[in-house]
């Protein structure tokens, strides 16, 4: 089976282990992920902070390219890209004038027919039904599933899981053999776009998340967003500074955790690339 694939910039750079683990897990289930040719950046937070039309035109180009390539369904592992693509689809469907303006800027036909899947939806749809038989090494740990903002909000547009206390990741991890804990910071913001420009804020916001997970005995934090990952992992020094103690709970992408449960090679999953050593 073949699905369209939009990795986005992070997965080609600072979060390449996410891409590696996505591809490794997909491969284990014989799913071909076909990358959209000549894709561009979705514009992320920067674009919609600065310029509305640009923030829609960039994702629209990606969707147009996918259409051109004949892809009907694309997997978008990065939560930020997923959010941007979905919001763009929604906005353009709602406002025909805007659609004309944006397609005009792109100079590419756009119908909005491509189905955009985030990583959890992809796993749910194609992997969960056949997961049980393939788990060789149940991920037997207490995990705190962290969703962040972009997977669940705004609910009116994404319409994925529920806004407060979402469950989709927890259900997946349960199936992979883990014990998801009940905790209070599932959908609090990690600091996201301020990672570079205001590292101190990230230390505080991500610190609260790590702190609560630790207090409730989590052994691993599971994420599905490269921004959350880089804040919780790469910014651990600032976080520990905020917490006033050294916390070394590793942060795993959902696909890495599932990869481990499937018994895939740890290196193929990119575990060595983390700042916080993956001890599980």
Partner 1 sequence: MSSDTHHSVISGLGGEVLEHTEVKVSHCYQCGKCSAGCPLSEEMDYPPSVIMRMLQTGNPVLEDKVLRSFSIWVCLTCEMCFARCPMSIDIPKMMDFLREKSLNEKKANPKAKEIIAFHKSFLDSIKYTGRLYEIGLFVDYKTRTLRILEDMALAPKMMKRGKLNIIPELIKDRSGVAAIFRKSNKKNKN
Partner 2 sequence: MSKIGVFVCHCGENISATVDCAKVAETAGNWDGVTFSVDYKYMCSDPGQSLIKNAITEKGLTGVVVASCSPRMHEPTFRKACAEAGLNPFMCEMANLREHCSWVHEKGEATTEKAIDLVRILVEKVKYNHELTSIKVPVTKTALVIGGGIAGIQASLDIANTGHKVILIEKDPSIGGHMSQLSETFPTLDCSQCILTPRMVEVAQHPNITLYTYAELESLEGFIGNFKAKIRKKSKSIDEKLCTGCAQCTTKCPVKKIPSEFNEGLGKRTAIYVPFPQAVPNKPVIDRKNCTYYIKGKCKVCEIVCPTGAIRFDQEDQIVEVEIGAIVIATGFTVKQPDFFPEYGYGKHADVITGLQFERLASASGPTLGEIRRPSDGKVPEKIVFLACAGSRDPAKGIPYCSKICCMYIAKHAMLYQHKVHGGKSYVFYMDIRAGGKQYEEFVRRAIEDDGVNYIRGRVSKIYEKNGKLIVSGVDTLLNAMPVEIEADMVVLATAGVANEGAEELAQKLHISYDPYKFFAEAHPKLKPVETNTAGIFLAGACQAPRDIPESVAMASGAAVKVAGLFSKDELTREPIIAVVNRQAPPVYSSCVGCFLCVSACPYQAIEKEEIKNRNGEVIKSVAKVNPGLCQGCGTCVAFCRTKSIDIQGYTHEQMYTEVMALLNEY
Instruction: Tell me which residues touch partner 2 (CB under 8 A).
Output: 162-165, 182, 184, 212, 215
268 binding partner 1? (CB under 8 A)? no
In the complex, the smallest distance separating the C-beta of residue 159 from partner 2, rounded to whole angstroms, is 15
68 binding partner 1? (CB under 8 A)? no
In the complex, the smallest distance separating the C-beta of residue 52 from partner 2, rounded to whole angstroms, is 24
| Nearest-5° Cα angle at 179, 175 to 185 | 110
User: What character string, x for contact with partner 1 (CB under 8 A) and - otherwise, covers 156-195?
Assistant: -------xx----------------------xxx-xxxx-
Q: Is 112 exposed, middle or buried (0-12, 13-18, 19+ CB in 10 A)?
A: middle
215's contact among partner 1, partner 2, none, with CB below 5 to 8 A by partner kind, is: partner 2
Q: Is 33 exposed, middle or buried (0-12, 13-18, 19+ CB in 10 A)?
A: buried
In the complex, the smallest distance separating the C-beta of residue 152 from partner 2, rounded to whole angstroms, is 11
In the complex, the smallest distance separating the C-beta of residue 40 from partner 1, rounded to whole angstroms, is 4
Cα–Cα distance, 256 to 279 (Å, whole number)? 13
CB 130 within 8 A of CB 262: no
162's contact among partner 2, partner 1, none, with CB below 5 to 8 A by partner kind, is: partner 2
240's contact among partner 1, partner 2, none, with CB below 5 to 8 A by partner kind, is: none
CB 227 within 8 A of CB 253: no
DSSP state for residue 127 in the 8-state scheme = I
């Amino acid at each position: 089976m073949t699905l369209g694939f939009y990795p986005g910039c992070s997965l080609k750079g600072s979060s390449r282990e996410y891409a590696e683990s996505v591809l490794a897990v997909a491969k284990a289930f014989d799913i071909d992920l076909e990358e959209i040719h000549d894709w561009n950046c979705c514009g992320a937070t920067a674009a919609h902070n600065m310029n509305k039309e640009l923030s829609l035109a960039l994702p629209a180009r990606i969707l147009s390219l996918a259409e051109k390539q004949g892809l009907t369904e694309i997997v978008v592992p990065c939560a930020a890209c997923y959010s941007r693509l979905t919001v763009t689809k929604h906005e353009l469907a709602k406002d025909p004038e805007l659609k004309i303006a944006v397609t005009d800027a792109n100079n590419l036909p756009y119908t909005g027919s491509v189905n955009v899947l985030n990583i959890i939806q992809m796993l749910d749809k194609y992997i969960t039904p056949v997961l049980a038989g393939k788990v060789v090494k149940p991920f037997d740990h207490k995990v705190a599933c962290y969703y962040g903002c972009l997977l669940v909000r705004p609910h009116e547009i994404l319409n994925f899981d529920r806004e407060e206390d979402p469950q989709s990741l927890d259900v997946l991890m349960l199936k992979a053999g883990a014990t998801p804990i009940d905790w209070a910071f599932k959908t609090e913001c990690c600091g996201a776009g301020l990672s570079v420009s205001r590292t101190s804020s990230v230390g505080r916001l991500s610190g609260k998340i790590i702190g609560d997970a630790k207090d409730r005995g989590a052994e691993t934090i599971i994420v599905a967003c490269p921004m959350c990952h880089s804040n919780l992992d790469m910014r651990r020094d600032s976080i520990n500074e905020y917490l006033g103690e050294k916390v070394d709970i590793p942060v795993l992408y959902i696909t890495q955790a599932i990869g481990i449960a499937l018994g895939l090679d740890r290196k193929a999953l990119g575990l060595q690339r983390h700042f916080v050593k993956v001890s599980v």
